[in-house]
Amino acid sequence: MNSLFFFFFFFFFSTASTTPIPTTLDGPFKPVTHRLDPTLRQGSDDVPMTDPRLARKVDSIMPEQIALAASYSPSSIWVSWVTGDAQIGANVTALDPTTVASEVWYGEESGKYGFKQRGNSTVYSQLYPFAGLLNYTSGIIHHVRLEGLQPGKRYYYKCGDSSLSAMSKEHSFKTLPSPGHNFPPRIAVVGDLGLTRNSTSTIDHLASNDPSLILMVGDLTYANQYLTTGGKGVPCYSCAFPDAPIRETYQPRWDGWGRFMEPLTSKIPMMVIEGNHEIEPQIGGMTFQSYLTRFAVPSQESNSNSNFYYSFNAGGVHFIMLGAYVDYNRTGAQYSWLKADLHRIDRQVTPWVVASWHSPWYNSYSSHYQEFECMRQEMEELLYQYGVDIVFSGHVHAYERMNRVYNYSLDPCGPVYITVGDGGNIEKIDTEFADDPGKCPSQSDNIPEFGGVCHLNFSTGPAKGKFCWDQQPEWSAFRESSFGHGIIEVVNATYALWTWHRNQDSYKENSRGDEIYIVRQPDLCSKSVQPITSKTGSPRSKEVLHASFLGFIFSSLFQQLF
Ligand SMILES: [Fe+2]
């Protein structure tokens, strides 16, 4: 049945458009570059806090910033929201989260709520012990996990505290399909969103594609740049603020972002993973407080016990969200969890495995070039062994799709790596390529906020003996400096249509900047779980410059500061 459906689906789309949509079976593709359209600006200012889309629209006691997140299975979903007044200033007093209950009423019919579920609430503070810097304490953040839901069904819900007559208006969502050979309709993928006028354009375009799930691959609000840049962007923070021992964040930006996103996130689950802009260091060496407190993710449900990495199923797709800013070494907890998670997957039930983390391993832009080589060298073999199909990342503010690759060599069984860090944030679009004359970064550039430096000189192939290539690498199939988002539509256990949408409406019918069917070949690629020897650029070769763990330096620096 599935193959018959796909035949007609493929036939229709192949004949309806003038150019047939390619498949990965047609690859590897000759590398193609679309540079920044010179008629377009490279970026835009932040949306100001006075914008109505960022303003609170309900009384303080009422729920706002309502957001959904998938649980491990479609029988469960997380509902989160905020009540009360956040404070910012020299002196702030944390709210008492026990003063407001966390309730969700829900049912299958509008206005009829046969089920009620209670959850928990919490607050967080962002404190800076420096004269002139503003402290912040959040509103009360509520998380409730609904259980006993039917897959693929619409539910109607209200959230809030009924004892205070403070329930929200009705919202609704549709649960994801059950695992097996049911596949969710369009899944949107977006990274490095921020909250500029380009970001809002991205979200408008994303919403028009009516996704059933949103993957947000890190760097969400850029709250850590709003106040210090005045919403205009500063190309060099340390140049503008040479004496600042810590980068101050403007936490009300998170509240504005939550309000801006609510029309989408109150009806579509949004799955987040942390990026470097979520680190947000503060007093006592604390980091990631906003990310950890604001978002519910299915960590416990997926046996991870850390909100920095987790997994979940959406129909026949198993999603793995990895943390690039926590220990990813083979001896660490994340690696052990990942191995166990991969081992548990039944490909008869979830044939597709999609992994996401913030910082790309394969990237030919100058920006962040080879920045996360250490993570690649630790984890790539494991993902390859278990046949991960697609990897989504952000961090680089542009679009790039790779040919199937493993250990820097073209490989028909490697994952398809895709970078979609082009959500539209204040730092503007990346336009330079490491293979452009004079644009190869030095090995002291692109130092990650966590993890160390493992920059690699290539030991074989066209870039032998060098850090950068002289032309677009063969593993980079297509790259373009435009803002946008992607949509993945899984058709069946073998085919998934990936479409990258540029924001520029002036492209009209060409607004689909990249389209390809990603095709699984389990018969070709079924592997036993055993070590695979490296072929190119041996990770532990002499060329590797392996620095000590900057993450530990980073955290001990803050320990000393406070
Ligand atoms: Fe980033």
Q: How far apart are CA 151 and CA 167, in angstroms?
A: 26
State how far Cα 18 lies from the chain centre: 33
Summarize pLDDT for 349-400 with one digit per residue, the tens: 999 999 999 999 999 999 999 999 999 999 999 999 999 999 999 999 999 9
Q: What percentage of the chain has pLDDT greater than the value 90?
A: 78
Q: What is the CATH number of the domain that holds 475?
A: 3.60.21.10
Instruction: Measure 233 CA to ligand 1 centroid, in angstroms.
Output: 15
**Closest listed residue to residue 83, CA positions, set 128, 23, 134, 123:** 123
State how far the Cα of 106 lies from the Cα of 112, in Å rounded to an integer: 7
Distance 64 CA to ligand 1 centre (A): 27
Task: Detail the DSSP E strand segments found in 20-76.
Answer: 32-34, 64-70
Residue 133: predicted pLDDT: 74
Any domain includes 293: yes
- Gap between the Cα atoms of 370 and 386, Å rounded: 24
Mean pLDDT of the region 39-53 = 90
For residue range 180-217, list pLDDT tens digits in order.
Answer: 889 999 999 999 999 999 999 999 999 999 999 999 99
The pLDDT value given to residue 97: 98
Q: What is the pLDDT of residue 509?
A: 65
Q: Is 385 contained in some domain?
A: yes
Same-domain pairing of 260 and 401: yes
Q: How far is the CA of 365 from the centre of ligand 1 (A)?
A: 14
Give domain status of residue 77, yes or no.
no
Domain end (from 142, 175, 208) = 175
- The percent of residues above 70 in pLDDT, for the chain, comes to 86
- Taking 60 as the threshold, does the pLDDT of residue 2 lie above it? no
pLDDT per position as a tens digit, 452-478 = 999 999 998 899 999 999 999 999 999
Give the Å distance between the CA of 397 and the centre of ligand 1.
8
The reply to whether 196 and 158 lie within a common domain is no
CB 562 within 8 Å of CB 284 = yes
Compute the distance from residue 393 Cα to the ligand 1 centre, in Å. 10
Q: How far is the CA of 297 from the centre of ligand 1 (A)?
A: 20
Residue 508: pLDDT above 80? no
The rounded Å distance from CA 81 to ligand 1 centre is: 26
Residue 75 belongs to some domain of the structure: no
- Total residue count of the chain as it appears in this document: 562
pTM: 0.91
| 184 domain-assigned | no
- pLDDT at residue 144 is higher than 80: yes
Q: Are residues 113 and 56 in the same domain?
A: no
Question: What distance in angstroms lies between residue 278's CA and the mean position of ligand 1's atoms?
Answer: 9
Pair (140, 283) in one structural domain: no
Cβ atoms of 327 and 550 closer than 8 Å: no
Domain assignment of residue 182, yes or no = no
Last residue of a domain, one of 143, 175, 207: 175
The average confidence (pLDDT) of the chain is: 89
Q: How far is the centre of ligand 1, averaged over its atoms, from the C-alpha of 363 (Å)?
A: 13
Tell me, yes or no, whether 129 and 201 share the same domain. Answer: no
d(CA 503, CA 56): 27
Higher-confidence position of 547 and 289: 289
pLDDT for 494 beyond 60 = yes
Which pLDDT tens digit goes with each residue over 230-277? Answer: 666 655 556 666 666 677 789 999 999 999 999 999 999 999 999 999
Ligand 1 centroid distance, CA of 121 (Å): 29
Per-residue model confidence (pLDDT) at position 544? 35
**432 CA to centre of ligand 1 in angstroms:** 17
Q: Residue 532 has what pLDDT?
A: 45
In tens, the pLDDT along 389-435 reads 999 999 999 999 999 999 999 999 999 999 999 999 998 899 999 99
pLDDT tens figures, 513-562: 999 999 999 999 986 554 444 444 433 332 333 333 333 333 333 333 33
| Domain ranges, residue 113 | 82-175
Look up tokens 């969200």; give the residue. 321
Q: Is residue 96 part of a domain?
A: yes
Query: From the CA of 394, how far away is ligand 1's center (Å)?
Result: 7
The pLDDT, as a whole number, for residue 356 is 98
Do 467 and 395 belong to one domain?
yes
Give the phi and the psi of residue 477 in degrees, each rounded to 5.
-80, -40
* Judgement on whether residues 53 and 97 belong to the same structural domain of the protein: no
Domain count, the chain: 2
- Which pLDDT score is estimated for 474? 97
Mean pLDDT, range 51-62, rounded to an integer: 97
- pLDDT for position 523: 94
Closest CA to 428 of 81, 22, 45, 148: 45
Are 552 and 460 members of one domain? Answer: yes
Give mean pLDDT, residues 488-493. 97
Residues 155 and 237 in one domain: no
Is there a single domain that holds both residue 336 and residue 406? yes
Establish how many alpha carbons lie within 13 A of residue 47's alpha carbon, considering only the half-sphere containing its beta carbon. 25
The one-letter amino acid at 420 = V
pLDDT value, residue 362: 98
**Ligand 1 centroid, distance to 419 Cα (angstroms):** 11
Catalogue the active-site residues: 368
Indicate whether 324 belongs to any domain: yes
Of the residues 115, 150, 175, the one at which a domain ends: 175
CA–CA distance, 170 with 172 (Å, rounded to integer): 7
Statement to judge: residues 392 and 531 lie in one domain: yes
143 with 274, same domain: the answer is: no
Q: State residue 247's pLDDT score.
A: 73
Task: Compute the distance from residue 531 Cα to the ligand 1 centre, in Å.
Answer: 31
> Average of pLDDT values for 160-172?
98
CA of 273 to the centre of ligand 1 (A): 11
